Amino acid sequence: MRAIAWMVATGILFVAVTATVKHGAQDLPAAESAFLRYVLGIGFLIPMLKPLKKANLTTRQKKLFWIRGFAHSLAIILWFHAMTRITIAEVTAMNYMTPIYITIGAALFLGERLASRRILAIAAGFLGALIILRPGFRELTDGHFAMIGAAMLFAVSYLTAKRMADEVAAVVVVAMLSITVTICLLPFAIAVWQTPTMMQVFWMFVVAALATAGHYTMTLAFSDAPVSVTQPVVFLQLVWSVLTGAIFFAEPADGWVVLGGAVIVAATTFIAIREAMLRHQNKETRA
């Protein structure tokens, strides 16, 4: 129950991040908004500096962290762009596809086996995405395509993090992400730079604080219960998104988006439960 409560809080915080970006970054280039979000969050790294120094990262580990940082930077730029072009609910629902892309990537690049049930779950996830997008039945904008690209690049980032989490402490993984993304975003931000107002800087700081809090509560949730328990709660994030969009941004509630999001969450929940079951079976076999 405590893990579920932390996951509910995580969903609310991440929706607050999305809403704050939509409100405070509407007139800023996406790359600049993303850079400000990360550079203003550098202060949260101070407690992580000591374990980072002790990590003694190898050349290979540093290379992988930079690959992750670059992929994550591109994903963040696309996400910020999508946030100012499509509804909060669409961004949230399409972001649910990231675990599906992670599952495909793990099979292609990490050698993980794709059983028939996993393939069906992946197919269900893509069906959910088609329900949300409805190509041929409505006009798709650059925001929709940006969000598709963002979810794919986030998957690359998380796959790299999954490999690095087996080698170094979690705090090092988080710290290296913040450092590499801030540096990678800098040239993109300079290319489109326009002097932000103090209010825009304030809103990007709020985004940094909310995102940091969200990652913290998510970590607490994962430490209290397996992902198979917390994953279904992710759907509530879509509920908060629809309500936030309707109340604060006059965005009409789209039943197709909610339905598609529900299908994707069901697919990712099934994958999470199956992975938990397989891990449990493997432990029993080794025992």
Please give the pLDDT value at position 287.
54
CB atoms closer than 10 angstroms to residue 173: 19
> Token match 């709660």: residue?
233
Please give the pLDDT value at position 284.
61
Contacts of 23 (CB under 8 A, 6+ apart): 203, 248, 249
**Spans in the chain with pLDDT lower than 50:** none
Contacts of 106 (CB under 8 A, 6+ apart): 112, 159, 162
Q: How far apart are the C-alpha atoms of 38 and 178, rounded to whole Å? A: 7
* Residue 39, token pair as written in the block: 């550079």
User: Interior CA angle at 21 toward 19 and 27, to 5°?
Assistant: 125
- The answer to whether 155 touches 105, Cβ cutoff 8 Å, is yes
Please give the pLDDT value at position 63.
94
Q: How far apart are the C-alpha atoms of 32 and 181, rounded to whole Å? A: 13
Q: How far apart are the C-alpha atoms of 274 and 123, rounded to whole Å? A: 16
The pTM score is: 0.84
> Token match 């609910």: residue?
89
DSSP state of 139: P
Please give the pLDDT value at position 70.
96
Please give the pLDDT value at position 245.
92
